[in-house]
C-alpha cells in the first residue's frame, strides 16, 4: 500500500504530492524523530541540496579542495616535493 504525502509551500501555497510505501514513510518519520526533527524538515533540506546549482560532483571537488587547504595549513613540507614512493608509504 502506498501513502501520499502532501507538502505545502508556506510562501506561495504550492503543494506537491509524493507517493511512497507506507512502511517506508513510517521508518523515515521514526528516523527523523530520533534525530529530533521531522520528515518534512528533512525533505526540505534534501530539496534545497537537490535544487542547488552545484552538482554533487562539484560539491565533492569543493570539499576536497577545502580539506587540502586545511591540511596544507597544518603540514609544513618546507617546500619539498615527495617522491611517488614516499606518498604511497603507509
Question: SS in 3 state form for the chain?
Answer: CEEEEEEECCCCCCEEEEEEEHHHHHHHHHHHHHCCCCHHHHHHHHHHHHHCCCCHHHHHHHHHHHHHHHHHHHCCCCCCCCCHHHHHCC
Q: What is the pTM of this model?
A: 0.47
Residue 63 grid coordinates: 570539499
CA–CA distance, 73 with 90 (Å, rounded to integer) = 22
Q: pLDDT tens-digit profile of 37-57? A: 999 889 888 888 777 766 677
Q: pLDDT tens-digit profile of 54-89? A: 667 777 888 888 888 888 777 777 777 778 888 788
Amino acid at each position: 500500500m502506498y501513502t501520499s504525502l502532501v507538502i505545502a509551500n508556506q510562501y506561495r501555497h504550492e503543494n506537491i504530492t509524493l507517493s511512497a510505501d507506507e512502511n517506508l514513510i513510517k521508518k523515515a518519520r521514526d528516523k527523523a524523530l530520533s534525530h529530533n526533527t521531522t520528515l518534512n524538515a528533512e525533505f526540505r533540506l534534501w530539496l534545497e541540496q537537490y535544487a542547488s546549482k552545484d552538482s554533487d560532483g562539484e560539491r565533492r571537488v569543493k570539499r576536497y579542495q577545502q580539506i587540502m587547504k586545511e591540511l596544507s595549513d597544518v603540514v609544513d613540507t618546507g617546500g619539498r616535493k615527495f617522491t611517488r614512493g614516499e606518498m604511497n608509504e603507509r
